[in-house]
A = this chain, B = another copy of it.
Amino acid sequence: MKARVHVMLKTGVLDPQGEAVRHALGAMGFDGVQAVRQGKVIELDLAEGATRADVEQMCEKLLANTVIESYSVELA
């Protein structure tokens, strides 16, 4: 089975990477880009029988820094 995890900086945490992208898009002539947030996506191929709880444990322990990042898990 496959799982996809999104890890984003929490709202209110400064995102310099996203800000750099927003600035660069404006400089390249793309108007109307109001805000950009950049995060990570992690695609996992898991053995059959893995559960959402397993993936959430992985997020809590390794994939996300829960002090400043939030995560969401999609199973497919």
Q: Are B62 and A6 in contact (CB under 8 A)?
A: no
Q: Are A39 and B40 in contact (CB under 8 A)?
A: yes
Contact residues in B for A61 (Cβ distance below 8 Å): 28
Interface residues on A, range: 20 to 34
Contact residues in B for A65 (Cβ distance below 8 Å): none
Which B residue sits closest to A30, measured CB to CB?
A: B58
- For A28, give its contact among B43, B44, B47, B62 (CB under 8 Å): B62
Q: Which 10 A-B pairs have the closest CB atoms?
A: A32-B47, A35-B45, A34-B45, A41-B41, A37-B43, A39-B41, A38-B42, A36-B44, A32-B46, A6-B41
Contact residues in B for A40 (Cβ distance below 8 Å): 38-41
